[in-house]
Amino acid sequence: MSDVSYSGLVDGFGRRVTYVRMSVTDRCDFRCVYCMSEDMTFVPRSEVLSLEEMQMLAEAFVSLGVKKIRLTGGEPLVRSNVVSLCQKVAAISGLEELVMTTNGAQLNRYACDLRAAGVRRLNISLDSLKSERFRELTRTGDLKKVLAGIDAACAAGFDRIKLNAVIMKGRNDDEIEDLVDFAISRKLDISFIEEMPLGQIDEHSRREAFFSSDELKNRLAQSYTLIEAPTKSSSAGPSRYHHVAGSETRVGFISPHSHNFCGDCNRVRVTAEGRLLLCLGNEHSLDLRSILRSGAGPQALEDSIVKAMDLKPERHYFDHSDEPAVVRFMNMTGG
């Protein structure tokens, strides 16, 4: 694609970027309390990248050494023709893995098509196994649809499926063991995520609801034998995994607060409107949409992405206050 040879995407701290999380939409059919406010204003559709522009970005990143792309949202399955995008991205020579994060509500309809299109793994959000509580946490979600979607995904033959759960004190921390048992029963993995301070919310106090990975691990150790998994691959995400003895399930802990994982960060994010975010917890970014729509061509796009690595900060500085670290909500960020 390019006449210029690059040695990959390396930031100013020597970290090599091999993993891109690409948001295909900021819209979602849920309104999860830790992710959005109840009344959201979304990006005008004219400002959202077209599927063709997203494909061009994916090609540029793979040309620069990216091995793994995750399609996210918002909820990616509310984007029209997203399966077609999956098929085209999965076919890019040099890409080793195309994966997706979804809330699962539409997987009963799309699971087989996604697998046929080349999506290898899924992350599915599941914060509660109690119908009323699930509705409360998601504001609009139907647990039955999500569970049916998980079953459809299991039947579709993905390489691996992982559940994601955000645990909050006093809200769903009494379901930790139930969620692990559910994962074990279906031979799935599960990651527990510390709530991240993105966007201003008034539904709950993040400080009071905070539940650390260490607390989770100590709780689980009372019921399960957890065996630390081997070192991650170069294209892996931030989960630190433990095998549950006697099962095929791994339990992961994503700990942006309590165990900062910035030192080996290998990823960047692209928002639905084409902002290249160099860090989840900072606003350092590059407007890729303007480059795409300027007609400058693939070489200019790649050059700009390479130069943007200098903007990647050493780390984020999340704390435990109720003030957000950044004002954008998680649905805008790309997973």
The CATH number covering residue 183 comes to 3.20.20.70
Split at pLDDT 50, 70, 90, the class of 90 is very high
**pLDDT digit string (tens) for 244-285?**
999 999 999 987 654 555 667 889 999 999 999 988 766 678
Question: Would you give the end-to-end CA distance of the chain in angstroms?
Answer: 28
pLDDT at 328 over 70: no
In a domain, 197, yes or no: yes
How much helix, strand and coil, in percent to the nearest 5, is found in the chain? 35, 20, 45
Residue 12 or residue 258, greater confidence: 12
Taking residues 237-241, report their average pLDDT.
76
- 272: Cβ contacts below 8 Å, ≥ 6 apart: 23, 24, 25, 26, 43, 48, 49, 73, 74, 332, 334
Taking residues 99-115, report their average pLDDT.
97
In a domain, 4, yes or no: no
Question: How high is the pLDDT of residue 185?
Answer: 98
User: Which stretches of 28-157 are DSSP H helices?
Assistant: 51-63, 82-90, 107-117, 131-138, 143-156
Provide the 10 A C-beta neighbour count for residue 10: 15
257: nearest Cα among 221, 222, 209, 223: 209
In a domain, 158, yes or no: yes
Split at pLDDT 50, 70, 90, the class of 324 is very low
Question: How high is the pLDDT of residue 51?
Answer: 97
Q: In whole angstroms, what is the distance from residue 94 CA to residue 63 CA? A: 8
Q: In whole angstroms, what is the distance from residue 35 CA to residue 196 CA? A: 9
Question: How high is the pLDDT of residue 326?
Answer: 46
Taking residues 127-152, report their average pLDDT.
96
Enclosing domain of residue 15: 9-332
Split at pLDDT 50, 70, 90, the class of 322 is very low
In a domain, 270, yes or no: yes
Both tokens assigned to 57? 């970005």
Q: In whole angstroms, what is the distance from residue 37 CA to residue 29 CA? A: 13
219: nearest Cα among 187, 189, 242, 188: 242
In a domain, 2, yes or no: no
In a domain, 100, yes or no: yes
Name the domain count of the chain: 1
Question: How high is the pLDDT of residue 194?
Answer: 82
Give the burial string for 205-227 (b: 16+ CB within 10 Å, else e). Answer: ebeebbbbbebbbebbeeebebe
Taking residues 137-147, report their average pLDDT.
94
- The per-residue pLDDT of the chain, averaged, comes to 87
101: nearest Cα among 238, 274, 262: 238
In a domain, 3, yes or no: no
Locus of tokens 């400058």:
296
DSSP string, 255-268: -TTTS--GGG--EE
274: nearest Cα among 17, 44, 16: 44
Long-range contacts of 302-308 (CB under 8 A, 24+ apart): 302/1, 302/2, 302/4, 302/6, 302/60, 302/63, 302/64, 303/4, 305/9, 305/60, 305/61, 305/64, 305/276, 306/6, 306/9, 306/64, 308/276, 308/278
pLDDT at 1 over 50: no
Split at pLDDT 50, 70, 90, the class of 331 is very low
Split at pLDDT 50, 70, 90, the class of 34 is confident
pLDDT at 53 over 80: yes
Taking residues 157-183, report their average pLDDT.
95
pLDDT at 40 over 90: no
Taking residues 113-120, report their average pLDDT.
98
pLDDT at 303 over 70: yes
Residue 333 or residue 254, greater confidence: 254
Q: In whole angstroms, what is the distance from residue 201 CA to residue 212 CA? A: 20
Which phi and psi (to 5°) does residue 16 adopt? -95, 125
**pLDDT digit string (tens) for 62-71?**
999 999 999 9
**pLDDT digit string (tens) for 206-237?**
555 778 888 999 999 999 999 998 866 555 56
Q: What angle separates helix 107-117 from helix 82-90, to the nearest 10 degrees? A: 20
In a domain, 159, yes or no: yes
Question: How high is the pLDDT of residue 144?
Answer: 98
Share of the chain above pLDDT 90, in %: 65
pLDDT at 75 over 90: yes
